Amino acid sequence: MKLNRRLILKLASKRIVQHCVFWFIAMLLLAAMYGVGLPGFELPFVMISFFMPLHTVYFYTIANVGIPRFLHTKQYLKLTLFLIFCVILFTLIFRLIEILIADPIVYEAIRKQDETFVWHKLDGTFKEQLFRYTYILNAFEQANLIVWVAVAIKFFKMWYEKQQAALEAELVLLRGQLHPHFLFNTLNNLYALTLTQSPQSPSVVIGLSEILRYMLYEANADVVDLRRDVEIIENYVALEKIRYEERLDLNLTINGLEPGQRIVPLLILPLVENAFKHGTSEKVGEAWINMDLQVKDNLLKFKISNSKPEQPPKKNNEKSHSSIGLANVRKRLAILYPSAHQLRILEEEDIFAVILEINLDKRLQIGPI
């Protein structure tokens, strides 16, 4: 509970700082834009400071009232009317501030520098000054420019967060598929050993519990230590060697593992499981699997190849379950390493091979901004 509260306060503080920085930069830009022709930089900066409360109230009225109340509830007509009302209201308020505060200050500052300067007020009534076409048009431009830039940024942020949420939801779904899929296939292996009353069954149960502990608790993190992920692969390979004994010719080579290397969990294990599922369990007689994992300059390259069954396996429910792993890996790679991976699948008459390359430094960050 305290951790969640601390995280919320941290995110809120970060957001406040970002907004303050934005409005300060906006003040500088507006002062530079509308201070052309005015003496010095201090005067336009002071003048703009009179309008900044208006800009901020204008923006947060749209962002915190209009968008949640009308856009999120899909009341688009009401949202349109609300925005038109805001545009008119804040343009008129802007013009009032000009007439009552900004213009007198500007003209007085100019008069102090140039004693010959004479300020001729606009002719006509206050109403005529307020609604004079050229001035109200100028007020419309200045009142809305920076606010609608901020609104555009707000809409982009909302779109981005929506995309992030969709990606997170898909990742949760894909990650959830792996657990029952892996458990289903491994329990099948354990069942095969118990049928023969193998003395190795207890070792398989212990090894399986270690792998499941990793999948259920450690693999929920965004990234894990690469050496730990490889360790789980080695444990899984050891379990499969117990099952197939001398019938399996297995070669596993690992090079380049160093401290600090991080990877999204459970990207490689489904490829290994797939090789055993299709290259060993479905093949009558001797079978072989070759695995080679190398890491250099944080570029991971994993190549796995296996023998293929002499007869194509029959299509059944188990077959459909076993295809989940490879499709799952492909989707997760597309989301998390969109431009930093290559997944190649090579299939010949008697060989099936998968080559995976990942730039570990270029993982896409999924989460709130």
Residue reference for tokens 């109230």: 57
How does pLDDT run across 202-260, given as a tens digit for each residue? 777 777 778 878 887 888 888 999 999 999 999 888 888 877 777 788 999 999 999 99
What is the mean pLDDT of the segment spanning 94-112? 76
Q: DSSP 3-state assignment of 165?
A: helix
HSE-up (13 A, CA, CB side) for residue 122:
17
When pLDDT is averaged across residues 314-319 and rounded to a whole number, the result is 47
Mean pLDDT within 78-82: 95
Both ends of the chain: CA-CA distance in Å? 22
Residues 6+ apart with CB under 8 A from 121: 129
**Of residues 245 and 335, more confidently modeled:** 335
* Per-residue confidence band for 369, with pLDDT thresholds at 50, 70 and 90: very low
Name which of 258, 260, 237, 259 is nearest 248 in CA terms: 237
322 — pLDDT class (breaks 50, 70, 90): very low
pLDDT of residue 368: 45
User: Which uninterrupted H or E stretch holds 300?
Assistant: strand 299-307
Domain spans, the chain: 2-131, 162-362
Rounded to the nearest 5 degrees, what angle is found at the Cα of 269, between the Cα atoms of 265 and 270?
110
Q: ∠ at Cα 320 (314, 321), nearest 5°?
A: 125
Distance CA 322, CA 170 (A): 20
Per CATH, the number for 162-362 is 3.30.565.10
- Output the CA torsion sign for 344, 345, 346, 352: positive
Between helix 201-216 and helix 226-244 the angle, nearest 10°, is: 150
Q: What is the dihedral of CA 194, 199, 203, 205, to 10 degrees?
A: 20
How many C-beta atoms surround the C-beta of residue 204 within 10 A? 21
Reported as a single tens digit per residue, the pLDDT across 125-178 is 666 667 777 888 888 988 999 999 999 999 998 888 887 777 777 766 666 666
Say which residue, 259 or 187, is predicted with more confidence. 259
What's the rounded Cα separation, in Å, for the pair 147 and 140?
11
Q: How confident is the model at residue 43 (pLDDT cuts 50, 70, 90)?
A: confident
Q: Of how many residues is the chain composed? A: 369
Name the average pLDDT for the chain: 80
The residue-averaged pLDDT of 84-103 equals 89
Other CB atoms within 10 Å distance of the CB of residue 46: 15
